[in-house]
Amino acid sequence: MGEGLGGAIDSMFNLQTWTSAIHAWLLGLVPEWAAILLECVVVALLIITLYAVFAIALIYMERKVCAFFQCRLGPNRVGKWGLLQVFSDVFKMLQKEIINMRKSDMFLHDLAPFLVVTASMLTFACLPWNKGGHIIDFNVGLFFMIAVSSIGVVGILLAGLGSNSKYPMIGSMRAGAQLISYEISIGITMLTIVALSGTMQISEIVQQQADNGWNIIRGHVPAVIAFLIYLIAGNAECNRGPFDLPEGESELTAGYHTEYSGMHFGYFYLAEYLNLFIAAGIASTIFLGGWAPLHIAGLDGFNGVMDAIPGAVWFIGKTFFVIFLLMWERWTFPRLRIDHILSLEWKYLMPLSLINLLLMALVVVFGLGINV
């Protein structure tokens, strides 16, 4: 009876069951091409809505977490507990004029924020929200995710080049050097999990963790080391403290988006927080099981209760847990010098991640993984 109940819960929470039923219903009303077009439009609107909602939630969370670490209250005037402060900021930004610099390259200057947002949204669409709830799921999913996220570096470099100003140019060159460097550690960290899972398909990586236990437990020591490296490199990839020197206000005013105003600046601001969510979402996917619930061997009653929680709740909860860890890192350590930032990557993180990849290979070859 327990297995039957578990199967019923699994079927109910599997979004593929619902999406297949909706697709079949649409095929009964319109031709196949129209059904696919309508589904694509709905999915695009869903991505944009989630993108905006999570950005607003993260901005508010950032301010409150920052206030907590600095023994302040944070936003508390506009709305109950300051909940409407972010909405008022968005409304103000929408009203601001977009100022065009006379000597800037207008095409590159205007293209840059859209490239950054496009890269962010493409990566956002790769996240597995629930069982059967992935939008993009290739057999080389992790490779695709790294590839499309790298487009954002091009947007940042174009922002500095197109502004034709020395502060944005210096900021964009710093950002380019930092992002390209730390992508190496993130890529090797992902390879470590690929070695453990034997696949690059994101849905398959999560399904293995649902069946055999989360990777951070299953891969024991190398997986924990990879997770810690990812937390450091993830903040660097998002240009967040203590790695926020590319937009260091004490030296470069605002770095590569100094010359941006209105919603052009808003796009950079939006992408920064969604990149934070994406970095945390990737960590929760490859290390903490994504939508897979927590199971403890021998505790069938506990496991049954965990299975009753929808996968999307698990994924979002784990992601916000990692976000809190990344914010904790940001508001604890002081800003690093640019040479220290690059030394940390090339002299310490990259060699350590390569050694850790070798350790994971030994774990896989000798069958030392833990199944729970």
Report residue 339 as tokens.
Answer: 């040479």
Q: Specify the pTM.
A: 0.89
Give me the pLDDT at residue 20, please: 79
Contact (CB, 8 A) for 268 and 194: no
Report how far residue 69's alpha carbon sits from residue 57's, in angstroms, rounded to the nearest whole number: 18
Give me the pLDDT at residue 227, please: 95
**Rounded alpha-carbon distances, angstroms, from residue 120 to 53, 145, 159, 276:** 15, 10, 16, 10
Residue 35 domain-assigned (yes or no): no
Q: Considering only CA atoms, which of 185, 120, 188, 191 is closest in space to residue 154? A: 120
Buried b (16+ CB within 10 A) or exposed e, 325-351: bbbebbbeeeebebeebbebbeeebbe
- Through-space distance between the first and last CA atoms of the chain, rounded to whole angstroms: 22
Q: Could you tell me how many helices (H) and strands (E) the chain has, helices first?
A: 17, 0
Report how far residue 80's alpha carbon sits from residue 62's, in angstroms, rounded to the nearest whole number: 17
Report how far residue 119's alpha carbon sits from residue 57's, in angstroms, rounded to the nearest whole number: 20
Report how far residue 9's alpha carbon sits from residue 6's, in angstroms, rounded to the nearest whole number: 5
Report residue 204 as tokens.
Answer: 């398959």
Give me the pLDDT at residue 4, please: 47
DSSP code at position 99: P
**Based on the structure, what is the number of domains in the chain?**
1
Give me the pLDDT at residue 9, please: 53
Residue 66 domain-assigned (yes or no): no
Residue 48 domain-assigned (yes or no): no
Residue 82 domain-assigned (yes or no): no
Give me the pLDDT at residue 223, please: 93
Report how far residue 136's alpha carbon sits from residue 122's, in angstroms, rounded to the nearest whole number: 9
Domain that holds residue 188: 96-365
pLDDT digits (tens, 9 = 90+) for 197-254: 989 999 899 988 888 888 998 888 999 999 999 999 988 888 887 887 766 666 666 6
The HSE-up count of residue 172 (CA atoms within 13 Å, CB side) is 27
Q: Considering only CA atoms, which of 159, 172, 173 is closest in space to residue 259? A: 159
Report how far residue 2's alpha carbon sits from residue 300's, in angstroms, rounded to the nearest whole number: 9
Report residue 278 as tokens.
Answer: 């994406």
Residue 256 domain-assigned (yes or no): yes
Strand ranges in the chain using DSSP code E only, listed in sequence order:
none
What are the residue ranges in the chain where pLDDT is below 50?
1-6, 8
Residue 89 domain-assigned (yes or no): no
CA 298 vs. chain centroid, Å, equals 34
Q: Which helix or strand (DSSP H or E) is residue 274 part of?
A: helix 262-286
Place of tokens 């992790």: 142
Place of tokens 């009753």: 308
Residue 21 domain-assigned (yes or no): no
Residue 55 domain-assigned (yes or no): no
